[in-house]
Structure 1
Amino acid sequence: MRQARILTGAALVAVSAAEDLTQHVDVFMGTEGGGNDFPGAVRPFGMVKLGPDLLVSGTDSYSGYLPNGNFSGFSMMHEQGTGGAPKYGTVSQLPLIGDISDPLSNITVSRSGSDSGSVGYYKAQTGDGVKVELSASAKAGIYRYTFPSGSKGNVLVDVSHVLPSFRGQGLGQNYEGGNITIFSDGHYEGAGVYDNGWNEAPDWTIYFCGYFDSAATNNTTYTATGAGKSVSIPGGVASSTSNSTRVGGLFSFSDSEVTSRVGISWISNKQACNNVNSEIPSGTELESVVEDAVSEWNEVVLSKVTTSNTNTTSLSLLYTSLYFMHLIPTNQTGENPYWSSSEPYYQDIFTFWDLFRCSTSLMQVLQPTSYEEQIRSLIDIWRNVGYMPDARSSNYNGRTQGGSNADNILADAYVKGVRGSVDWNDGYKAMVKDAEVTPVNYPVDWMAPDSSTHEGRSALPDWLKYGYITPTYSRAVSRAVEYAYNDFGLYQVASGLGETDDATKYLNRSRNWRNHWNPDLTSLGFSGFVVPRDTSGFIDTDPLTDTGYWGDPYYEASSWAYSFADVHDMKHIIELMGGNETFVSRLDTMFTDGASGSSGTIFDSTNEPMFNLPYLYNYVGRQDLAVSRSRKVAKEDYTTGVSGLPGNSDAGAMQTWLLWNMIGLYPITGQTTFLIHSPWFESMTIDLGNDKSLKITSAGGDGNGDTDMYVQSLKVNGKAWKKNWLTWDDIFAQGGTLEFELGPTAVNWTTGELPPSPAS
């Protein structure tokens, strides 16, 4: 077990339970079982994510944390909940005991007991008996070490430290050189150069500046070449421009308690020093930083959603999910090393392929100011890089798994009224670049060498020539499905901007997924699936087993899932599948145990292409089945505890799916449509900003979403509602109310028109 609430020093952070919603956040939820959540100290959208780096040979620690293994360091930079390959694990410290003769020899330290933590605080103990406590501000971190009485305590700063990857995919990070200088007052500054990681980034540099509140009895800079022994460097300066020479510093102390403050910057050592000294000034106690973190999380994030519910499990799922969805992207405004701009700058986008279906729409609801900034940042990246990212880390675009899904996000923001300081003429130009200009295939991704995986739509030559994608390009089917969705996004924005010719073109192109539809391919008695094709015709696959990865026709889901994906054309999908009854039966089959020929269901809650599926019943008037299917997934596949997620968090994607289930709505990205299912709680209020709110109540249910979940009737803003969907303007634009009456059995309360299918 991990302790989710801790004493910071002598006393618990003093915030009353009535005000402190962080008491419901379990920072270890989803850290194991493939969830890869980051449990360390962080602020909302914070650049610093300070936490442990555990080393187990052969096992990737994607966010640094593992439940076992040895500590290789406690570093300032991590990603949240990702898969693929680790990123960052840079600007590291490691506490050591005794005389250290070879500090740059890849030292690791065993762990004693289990780590513990809460919002803004992390605690671990090494096998040497050193207690390590951590907290963070936005661009700085604070370490407190308590060394065993009478021991010689040391802190190693190893500039070459990164999170390794053992998967053999060529995505492991590399140290490429660095420097460290220890100044006469005892503080140190330096920088490291690194490359690669999941997004295959070229060289990037991070600067750091650190202080200790205790005078070191000794400090020494070191270099080490290859497997050679560490060599002390006189004068307090060590540097290397080669990955073959590691550099670092060792600080020794006689005090049993030592506090370290460290700032980072993408710009310079000076800015790193400014960051730490402005955010965590000299003399700051760790408890003060923790208290500030708790206050910020309460004010900026957790208080956005309040409920009358008192069930501890549900409250933990609610507030922990809110917490993890706000760890990335990183607000790096003022820390852009590549161009000067008055626009906001957000990065650590990991990735829109994971986030566009339901995460970004919830971000707009909960954080409208930040979300507008994120949209502006995407457009500014296009201005200066040439393409908007589908993913971006270490200030570099990549990797693109499917379509140019920033297009979906811009379209969603546009139709839902995001304006403010967004230059939508430039936004549309950025989308057109994605839709019309093939990116250069450099550097070549060996896992998918046919075309660029760094930005844009690299299978455009086929898409523009044929209206489909041949096996010349990897992931041809799943990319075609996504390109169609991307083109629908361009149609939406073109329509709003009065670009009528473009609107017609992109609406027509948004239907081109149909060119991959083989009506004769059957599986489990159902006909019609999206399949690979070339100029000679369709290429059949087995829909039950054709899920794949980078080099395959389908990415991380099968044709069973991708055949439902283009929800902008859902009416036509239903017709192709044989009409309403067959459509329902086909969805039912996806949720039937053993239908795939083995245990389990075809539906796979671990991957984002499945996110929409439980809610598609609304398109054929079976809202009751959307409720029962989605609630079963939410209640069975999501739990509290370290293995509480069905798959990788994927930067909070899993958590936002769960949050929408609690709310009782599901967004259709790129449209103003929200599909209605049913809420968990008797009451929930969402703060929409600018003195607006959405209040959701449910009478007749069990108050926790476990039973009596079926909608009997609904009032929207006090008026009876008969549709199983509503729009942004109905309840979000100016706020509103949803009053549900729930019961134990399904009734036909939805006699209104069905959700729109604009491309149909």
Structure 2
Amino acid sequence: MKIQFYAILVSLLLFFSCNSGSKSTIAKKIKKRIDYVNPFIGTGGHGHTFPGATMPFGMMQLSPDTRLDGWDGCSGYHYSDSEIYGFSHTHLSGTGVSDYGDILLMPTNKIIFNNGADGKEGYKSKFSHNKEIAEPGFYKVHLDDTNIDVALTVSKRSGIHQYQFPKNSKQIIILDLEHRDEVLDSKILVTDENTIQGYRHSKAWATNQQLFYTIKFSKKIKNISYLNEKTEGKSVKAAFEFDENDGNTIEVKVGISAVDIDGSAKNLEQEIGNKSFDEVKKIAQETWEKQLGKIVVEDKNENNKINFYTSLYHTMIAPNLYQDVDGRYRGMDLEINQTADFEYYTVFSLWDTYRAAHPLYTIIEQKRTNDFINTFLAKYDEGGIMPIWDLAANYTGCMIGYHAVPVIADAFLKGIKNYDAEKAFEAMKHSAMQDKLGLESYKKFGFIPVEKESESVSKTLEYAYDDWTIAQMAKSLGKENDYKIFIERAQNYKNVFDPETQFMRGRFKNTWFSPFDPYEVNFNYTEANAWQYSFYVPQDITGFANLLGGKKSLENQLDKLFTAKKETSGRDQADITGLIGQYAHGNEPSHHMAYLYNFVNKPSKTQEKVRQILSEMYQNTPDGISGNEDCGQMSAWYIFSSLGFYPVTPGSNQYIIGSPLFDKATINLENGKSFTIQAKNNSAENKYIKSIKLNGKNYEYSYLNHQDIINGGTLIFEMTNKPTNWGTKDAFIPSTEIKEHLIVAAPFIAKGDIAFKEKTTITLAIAEKDSQIYYSLGNGFEQYKKPFIISEKATFKVFAQKGTSKSAIIKTEFYKINPNIKIDLQSEYANQYNAGGDNALIDGVLGTEDFRTGTWQGYFDTDIIAIVDLGAVKPIQQLQINFLKDQRSWIFLPKSVEIYTSIDGKVFKKIDNFSFPIPKNEEIVTIESMKLLKLGNARYVKVIAKKLGTLPTWHLGFKENGRSWLFIDEIQIN
């Protein structure tokens, strides 16, 4: 009787609490996880996400397109826009380059093929965010201009559009195969009264993207109109008209495939078939609910939960499935392959995601991690190399490093091994032994010289970390010789460390690239400056600290980083956002930095900085991400950090402890166990750790081992409002340190000019002081003891030795400039393109076709005016001047070059006006020379190179009101 009474009482309480209009505790508990996902986060600012419907790691991303191109149009949608062009089926999430946007459909009420982007009448429509809904697996919007309601939902490789037309309105659906990127070929084939099929092959970032489609309308096609009556080619559009008397709703089911038309039909039939819109939506959202349940957070702060589950959602959009239901896929050789052993994926933004997204997958996506690695190995077989940034069966050649390598090593060392480990190691070594992208120099010298390869500092640092992960896997496999080779290469970071400035710097002809400004964004770094790359030594933080002078010096340098002025100089770099001092959270090279305080016994500083970043850089707003979302990396940082730890060094099996954001979080593992993190006495003020218990025992270590998570258990934090001594003892701090097979860093020219007039005094130095330096000027090597003088052209060689270990021998050519020749530059060059300084145009060093190798002098939006003084009047037989043309990089030839001569430097006579051709829309990079013969007697030669100025209308930068660069090298006068 009592049991029945209490049951009735509880039922009544539940009834009244759920129907009282208040948000009760019980009502909150039954709220779904998908309700905490806000797909609009990241669609504003520079987040570059899309709000449309997709499945976890699915092939289709069915989303509205509001922007056709431009930096903030990368995903096809930007929250600041007010017009929708239509709904396409492929989109990239948070990338820095636009691609995809395939197979655009748009419901309308008149036959019109123009999209309206030109300001004329088009099929686009205005819309309002007030009439727009975005949820995992579902999107809905009202088109204001036509009064049509659009709803979208998806399965993995297929989706459904639902169009609700107003009564008595014409019902027309536009299919635009020309939409977005450059079309190589496309086709529309009507197969029955409800079905059309075809393909769209296009070129953008992926230069040969092939997509096939099957589209089934729920109503019979009444009439079809084609643009220019064409059903095949580069400009194919169609308008499908339906009978408005046959109901106001049309459902459009779409299947896609990268294989062939039959594949798209099979994908549609097997995944959706006769299912209704609501059935597909229900399956999609149930799938997302289960997927998001891999980590369950509990907290009073609703916005934090929204940020968390949206971040988790974003980490599960890419990589994308790239395989049909029958196991077929298009490989990197563009041939059709098949496998039933694993699922094949594309969109690996590895420079971003190896840092935290893939380590997150080793915890919550172990099966899929095996599939990712098997995909890498398949791509290695198909294309000859593992992907760096692959997209739609294309190697894009984008970004740096060979970061499939740490993804494999990190997984392997964590026990995720459902692939051929020997083949994986072979592929890892193969990536590291190439001769492209600066690797030839890197292997030879232990660093990449500025003059040999762009972004040389970043590449040297990233290669060194990648090599460390190869070494760790080699050691695990018992491959001692490989271990020695790659653990030595892992120390190459020492070769770009300048002990005087304490920064990682570019080595230009074995001197430091100068003048040096650590705030300057230039071609020595990847999307960064010296501040933002100089801390990137996750594999040997102890060794790096020793170079700086010890742990206290590293701490001081970190303090300077976070308190430095926020401004950058040099090149405008849109990726550098989310600045705290010079820490740039909006870009990946900074992501580990706040956690480095743990390595110097100051975990409270990590806790403070991590909480600041969590609260300032992630907001529940469209512009709530501080930079590009980057296929899950920005979100993975939030997930890890809000849980209370972060993988500073993937491959070490350690996570560095920060400051947990949530009262409670539970990681539900694939092995059936769970790992629960609790933060007692937690609040915005209580961000410091007082104590930790792991599985009931006191835990003093400021890092966590991977196996502790996988074994399941509890991690309980006791939080407080002031810094404590927890985790500060040497015995409890994390450490990465290379202790064996230590290398000798290569010495450098600390002072002296490579190109000089009378003479130059050479001072040599080395990053590590306890090595001996030996040099040669052609007559054998001698030990360096003090600065020496070079007064003639010379070939100089130098190396360092410590015990029996030697550095690489570095060779430098010294040039003697005719002391009688002078140059007066009356225009200002950009420091990042100074080519060696004021004498660069007469130093005898010629530029190469890569403008980023430091040998060209660059001038932005200005004419070049230079006067060469020959020192005396003499007959001039020939004048030659070299200019670079690299129009993709906004570097154009001058419109014209005026040449004047003078006897006294006051009165100049015009000798010639050399005109270059009007620039054409072409991507070839060339060095163009202008040459004049027999200029007569003169002492002074004046050169005026006229800038192009405003970019041509066909250039991508024209819409941004872009201006041209002039790149000039030697002015050779004989």
Q: TM-score, normalised by structure 1?
A: 0.86
2:725 corresponds to 1:748? yes
1:535-550 equivalence runs, <5 A: 535-540=509-514, 542-548=516-522
Match of 2:266 in 1: 274
Counterparts of 2:645 and 2:158, CA distance in 1: 38
Match of 2:88 in 1: 75
Match of 2:174 in 1: 156
Provide Cα deviations, 1:607-637, integer angstroms capped at 9, x if missing partner. 0000001000011110110000111011111
Residue from 650, 654, 661 that aligns with 1:680: 661
Provide Cα deviations, 1:383-406, integer angstroms capped at 9, x if missing partner. 221111111111112233121111
Range with bigger deviation, 709-718 or 331-340: 331-340
* Distance 1:112-1:402 versus aligned 2 partners, 3 A rule: closer
Distance apart, 1:594 and its partner CA: 3.2
Distance apart, 1:376 and its partner CA: 1.4
Distance apart, 1:544 and its partner CA: 3.0
Does structure 1 retain, via aligned residues, the 8 Å contact 2:520–2:568? Answer: no
Provide Cα deviations, 1:26-69, integer angstroms capped at 9, x if missing partner. 11111101111111000000100001111367665211212314
Counterparts of 2:207 and 2:128, CA distance in 1: 38
* Distance 1:690-1:58 versus aligned 2 partners, 3 A rule: closer
Does structure 2 retain, via aligned residues, the 8 Å contact 1:210–1:263? Answer: yes
Counterparts of 1:58 and 1:328, CA distance in 2: 22
Distance apart, 1:16 and its partner CA: 9.9
Range with bigger deviation, 320-329 or 737-746: 737-746
1:264-413 equivalence runs, <5 A: 264-282=256-274, 284-299=275-290, 301-333=291-323, 334-337=327-330, 338-342=335-339, 343-413=341-411
Match of 2:628 in 1: 648
Range with bigger deviation, 124-133 or 21-30: 124-133
* Distance 1:627-1:153 versus aligned 2 partners, 3 A rule: same
Provide Cα deviations, 1:328-387, integer angstroms capped at 9, x if missing partner. 001223341224243434434251111111111011111111111111111221122111
Residue from 157, 164, 171 that aligns with 1:146: 164
* Distance 1:562-1:49 versus aligned 2 partners, 3 A rule: same
Provide Cα deviations, 1:291-328, integer angstroms capped at 9, x if missing partner. 111100111x2111113313211110111111111000
For residue 713 of structure 1, give the secondary structure of its aligned residue in structure 2: strand
Does structure 2 retain, via aligned residues, the 8 Å contact 1:120–1:135? Answer: yes
1:602-641 equivalence runs, <5 A: 602-641=582-621
1:352-751 equivalence runs, <5 A: 352-419=350-417, 421-439=418-436, 458-471=437-450, 472-521=452-501, 528-540=502-514, 542-548=516-522, 552-592=523-563, 594=565, 601-667=581-647, 668-702=649-683, 706-729=684-707, 731-750=708-727, 751=729
Counterparts of 2:421 and 2:329, CA distance in 1: 22
Range with bigger deviation, 310-319 or 329-338: 329-338
Distance apart, 1:596 and its partner CA: 5.6
1:88-99 equivalence runs, <5 A: 88-98=100-110
* Distance 1:611-1:121 versus aligned 2 partners, 3 A rule: same
Partner amino acid for 1:665? F
Distance apart, 1:718 and its partner CA: 2.1
Distance apart, 1:131 and its partner CA: 1.2
Counterparts of 1:425 and 1:302, CA distance in 2: 34
Counterparts of 2:718 and 2:135, CA distance in 1: 37
Residue from 196, 199, 202 that aligns with 1:191: 199
Match of 1:124 in 2: 141
Match of 2:911 in 1: none
Counterparts of 2:70 and 2:209, CA distance in 1: 26
Match of 1:209 in 2: 214
For residue 273 of structure 1, give the secondary structure of its aligned residue in structure 2: helix
For residue 372 of structure 1, give the secondary structure of its aligned residue in structure 2: helix
* Distance 1:544-1:108 versus aligned 2 partners, 3 A rule: farther
* Distance 1:58-1:320 versus aligned 2 partners, 3 A rule: closer
* Distance 1:270-1:34 versus aligned 2 partners, 3 A rule: same
- Larger RCO (alpha carbons 8 Å, 6+ apart): 1
Percent of matched pairs sharing the same residue = 27
Provide Cα deviations, 1:709-752, integer angstroms capped at 9, x if missing partner. 111111222222222112212x1232232111111111112233
Match of 2:929 in 1: none
Counterparts of 2:195 and 2:496, CA distance in 1: 62
* Distance 1:298-1:69 versus aligned 2 partners, 3 A rule: same
For residue 568 of structure 1, give the secondary structure of its aligned residue in structure 2: coil
Counterparts of 1:187 and 1:425, CA distance in 2: 48
Match of 2:74 in 1: 62
Does structure 2 retain, via aligned residues, the 8 Å contact 1:638–1:645? Answer: yes
Counterparts of 1:59 and 1:517, CA distance in 2: 33
Match of 1:134 in 2: 152
Match of 1:445 in 2: none
* Distance 1:208-1:597 versus aligned 2 partners, 3 A rule: closer
Counterparts of 2:725 and 2:580, CA distance in 1: 30
Counterparts of 1:58 and 1:128, CA distance in 2: 27
Partner amino acid for 1:687? N
* Distance 1:749-1:59 versus aligned 2 partners, 3 A rule: closer
2:125 corresponds to 1:110? yes
* Distance 1:184-1:16 versus aligned 2 partners, 3 A rule: farther
Q: TM-score, normalised by structure 2?
A: 0.68
Match of 2:873 in 1: none
Distance apart, 1:272 and its partner CA: 0.7
* Distance 1:277-1:618 versus aligned 2 partners, 3 A rule: same
Counterparts of 2:527 and 2:347, CA distance in 1: 19
Counterparts of 1:515 and 1:103, CA distance in 2: 57
Does structure 2 retain, via aligned residues, the 8 Å contact 1:56–1:70? Answer: no
Counterparts of 2:174 and 2:591, CA distance in 1: 45
Distance apart, 1:112 and its partner CA: 2.8
Counterparts of 2:694 and 2:398, CA distance in 1: 40
Partner amino acid for 1:304? K
Match of 1:248 in 2: 238
Counterparts of 2:566 and 2:184, CA distance in 1: 50
Distance apart, 1:662 and its partner CA: 0.7
Counterparts of 1:205 and 1:749, CA distance in 2: 56
Provide Cα deviations, 1:199-227, integer angstroms capped at 9, x if missing partner. xx33222110011111222234x2xxxxx
Does structure 2 retain, via aligned residues, the 8 Å contact 1:531–1:540? Answer: no
Does structure 2 retain, via aligned residues, the 8 Å contact 1:347–1:393? Answer: no
Match of 1:9 in 2: none
* Distance 1:541-1:619 versus aligned 2 partners, 3 A rule: farther
Does structure 1 retain, via aligned residues, the 8 Å contact 2:114–2:123? Answer: no
Does structure 2 retain, via aligned residues, the 8 Å contact 1:38–1:63? Answer: yes
Counterparts of 1:48 and 1:519, CA distance in 2: 51
* Distance 1:404-1:318 versus aligned 2 partners, 3 A rule: same
For residue 382 of structure 1, give the secondary structure of its aligned residue in structure 2: helix
Distance apart, 1:96 and its partner CA: 1.5
| Gap regions ≥5 residues in structure 1 | 1-14, 163-172, 223-229, 440-457, 522-527
Counterparts of 1:577 and 1:128, CA distance in 2: 65
For residue 639 of structure 1, give the secondary structure of its aligned residue in structure 2: coil
Partner amino acid for 1:433? H
Larger relative strand fraction:
2
Is the radius of gyration larger for structure 1 or structure 2? 2
Counterparts of 1:636 and 1:93, CA distance in 2: 38
Q: How many residues in Structure 1 have an aligned counterpart in Structure 2?
A: 682
Partner amino acid for 1:642? P
Residue from 227, 232, 235 that aligns with 1:239: 232
* Distance 1:461-1:399 versus aligned 2 partners, 3 A rule: same
Distance apart, 1:587 and its partner CA: 0.8
